[in-house]
Structure 1
Amino acid sequence: MNLGQWIGLIAIVLCLYILWQIRQVLLLMFAAVVLATTLNRLAKRFQSSGLKRGFAVFLSVTIFFAGVVCFFWLIVPPFAQQFQELTYRVPQGFARFNSWLQQLETLVPQQLAPYIPNLNDLIAQAQPFVNEILGSSFAFVSGSLEVLLKILLVLVLTGMFLADPQAYRRLFIRLFPSFYRPRIDGILDKCELSLEGWITGTFITTIVVGLLSVIGLSVLGVKAALALGVLAGFLNLIPNLGPTLSVVPAIAIALLDSPWKALIVLLLYLVIQQIDANFVTPTVMAHQLSLLPAVTLISQLFFVTFFGFLGLFLALPLTVVAKIWLQEVLIKDVLDEWGNSHRQETELVIISQSPMSDIDWSVDNKTSEPEHPIDEPLPQEE
């Protein structure tokens, strides 16, 4: 490679290193973009009703903060009280489950006893993985000042993006060549529509799962039903992993009453997840986020490994945006068009080398051309 190529390679490596060092800031910027996109779409709906832009934005922000205040005022105090109850009831439930397994070992034949799992061994084996996954989450929530600063940064960036979104959009589009800028504008429209679908669908499914969980657990008489229901709705933000994690504390508390109640609680959660997966999610999201389950799970593991606790919750919108860019830019504009130019050149060469190309297509016939060409004026009659 020549000197210019070496300089370009070094510049690319330095840019990747800088982006890696500021990955947490970039993730917070993406969270602000998602929130600003949602509020901007809501403001556009108000504008379509005849409201001015400033008042529409103010109304959207007011609705958002009113929802946050109502959540912390109505839900958080009883949830915090019942969550403290969970902290000592869940370990009791695990201890009851372990003693139940030990009693089961005495009832089964000796040949099958080694195959019955021991809860303490399972916890010990899963401890390194759990520590790796949740270590960053504890670090994220441990420092209250750091959390407040991150939330404040997201809100400030959201306000800036929401004040004049078109200016930031034009600035981003200008980073691409002029011939490709209309294409980038269309891709951004698709990303905006998909993020709106994710926000709307996530909000509705979270409310539905939380309410169904609270109602079902209350009917079954499970203690701390409100805390378990809010926890189930909150963990539903994490596809695949969230529903599995939410059922564990509910089963542990139900085991304090009887194993049959724990089994009924497990069936309740399975029914709720089936309702959400087969009826609620396809209806509210309208298949806008059609992702393969394996792709969703791999993306969650990837983003939680490299971005920590916040990356786990933003894994799905990040995957949706990445899917749109890969599908539109890499697949449609690069891979699908890879052989088109070569194919067109080949067809031209074949046509030029065909024997039919040597035929003189000009016919010496008066009827082949008009008597008076359109470029010449007609003769004037005397």
Structure 2
Amino acid sequence: MKSKPVSRQVTSQKVIRILVIIVLILVSLFLGKQVDWVLIPVRQLFSIVGLPVILAGVLYYLMNPLVDWLEHKYHVRRTWTIIGLFVLIAGLLVWGIVALIPIIRTQTLGIINDWPSYWHHASNEINDWLNDPKLSALRDQVDQWNTNASKLLSGKVTKYLTGTVSSITSVVSTVTTVIIGLITMPFILFYLLKDGHQLPKYLAKFIPTKGRASFLQVLTEINAQVSNYIRGQLTVAFFVAMMFAIGYWIIGLKFALTLGIAAGILNLIPYLGSFLAMVPSVVIALVISPWMLVKVLIVFVIEQTIEGRVISPLVLGSSLKIHPVTILIVLLASGKIFGLMGVIFGIPGYAILKVLISHLFAWYREQSGRYPDDEVANDDTSADEKSER
């Protein structure tokens, strides 16, 4: 397959243009880092609007399929559907505040107040198990961990006590931001549900006519990736919280509801969340009895089996098509760079980046004509599949 020199020249010019754009973006990021003060207003603006926009976006992906279904199936106007959902959510919130919040508050305060004694008792239990001379090295390591944890906790307390005024100011500022975010979030969510489906076409107006179809296709794939991830993760987290809460309640573990909810929230961190949620449960179980620890571990094994074999494959499937090793690497890298927000949003961010890069590479492969073997291999594979059928 031979291509015309002119087309090769045009393709080379396009590739060079893309490389120049990438270099300019990197240079802009570097210069922006050098004049970091310029970005302070942007960060302040994001600190104000970031919370309501993120919350509204998450709820949009949860509620939009239902709004679309009611509109197409029963021809209900979107506005009335949205208002009805808002009333339903408000009723659920009132019920949660009246019925669940007092229980969660009492259990949370109980965990916070009793945690030092729980941790001390659990450490003593572990040290008793490690009294065997053969495990002296491991016992010394546990003692070192306890010493480091005590020093870290003492340092944090001292830091907060010495900065009481600034801490109070920070807390007041944070609470104010959260309240403003919770007030403005429903309005953002309403207009997202009402007009959000028109946003891609609106953005496409700023793209040259020749590239609008590809642009809309990229937006569609990104929207599908993000929506599948958000809905899937929240659905799995709900079932995880319910399974842990019911399991802990059956075995008689203290603070069952709060520990179950914490497990569901931490499950938003792929692969690592459930194990992190086990730490307080194991510590509390150690304080009660060794048999309670065994029952907690049984609940954990049952939950992991049901989640891994039934819930996650059914809800998530292979929608993101990301290898587990890649997920772990992305979590470690994004967590190191962006902290907790990186851990939570690293995977959907990677999925978006993957869509963009795959489309860019597909365009380059088509324009350059340098991958004829792939096309032949694909044709041979499809021919073999047809012959087998």
| TM-score where L is the length of structure 2 | 0.71
2:158 pairs with 1:103: no
* 1:110-189 to 2 correspondences below 5 Å: 111-116=134-139, 118-123=141-146, 143-189=174-220
> What displacement does 1:141 show?
10
Amino acid at match of 1:286: G
2:69 pairs with 1:42: no
Name the % identity: 22
> What displacement does 1:14 show?
5.9
SS at match of 2:287: coil
CA contact 2:130–2:138 (8 Å) conserved in 1: no
CA contact 2:82–2:190 (8 Å) conserved in 1: no
CA distance in 2 between counterparts of 1:158 and 1:38 reads 11
2:251 pairs with 1:213: no
5+ unaligned residues in a row in structure 2: which ranges?
1-19, 161-169, 374-389
CA distance in 1 between counterparts of 2:141 and 2:90 reads 47
- Residue 296 of structure 1, aligned match among 327, 335, 344: 327
- Residue 117 of structure 2 aligns with which residue? 92
Distance 1:341 1:298, change over 3 A: closer
Query: 1:86-141: CA deviations, max 9, x gaps?
Result: 113333232122112322343x23x5311335445225557999999xx9xxx799
- Residue 340 of structure 1 aligns with which residue? 369
Amino acid at match of 1:184: F
CA contact 1:235–1:243 (8 Å) conserved in 2: yes
Max radius of gyration: which structure? 1
> What displacement does 1:20 show?
8.9
CA contact 2:78–2:194 (8 Å) conserved in 1: no
* 1:150-299 to 2 correspondences below 5 Å: 150-299=181-330
> What displacement does 1:15 show?
6.9
Query: 1:60-96: CA deviations, max 9, x gaps?
Result: 4344444444444432221111111111333323212
CA distance in 2 between counterparts of 1:141 and 1:147 reads 10
2:105 pairs with 1:80: yes
CA RMSD between the two structures:
3.8
CA distance in 1 between counterparts of 2:344 and 2:302 reads 24
- Residue 322 of structure 1 aligns with which residue? 353
Distance 1:202 1:31, change over 3 A: same
Amino acid at match of 1:100: E
CA distance in 2 between counterparts of 1:319 and 1:36 reads 21
SS at match of 1:90: helix
> What displacement does 1:283 show?
0.4
- Residue 59 of structure 1, aligned match among 84, 88, 95: 84
Distance 1:105 1:234, change over 3 A: closer
> What displacement does 1:167 show?
4.4
Query: 1:30-80: CA deviations, max 9, x gaps?
Result: 553343343333211110122123223323434444444444443222111
- Residue 12 of structure 2 aligns with which residue? none
> What displacement does 1:287 show?
2.0
5+ unaligned residues in a row in structure 1: which ranges?
345-382
The structure whose residues are more often helix, as a share, is: 2
CA distance in 2 between counterparts of 1:36 and 1:14 reads 36
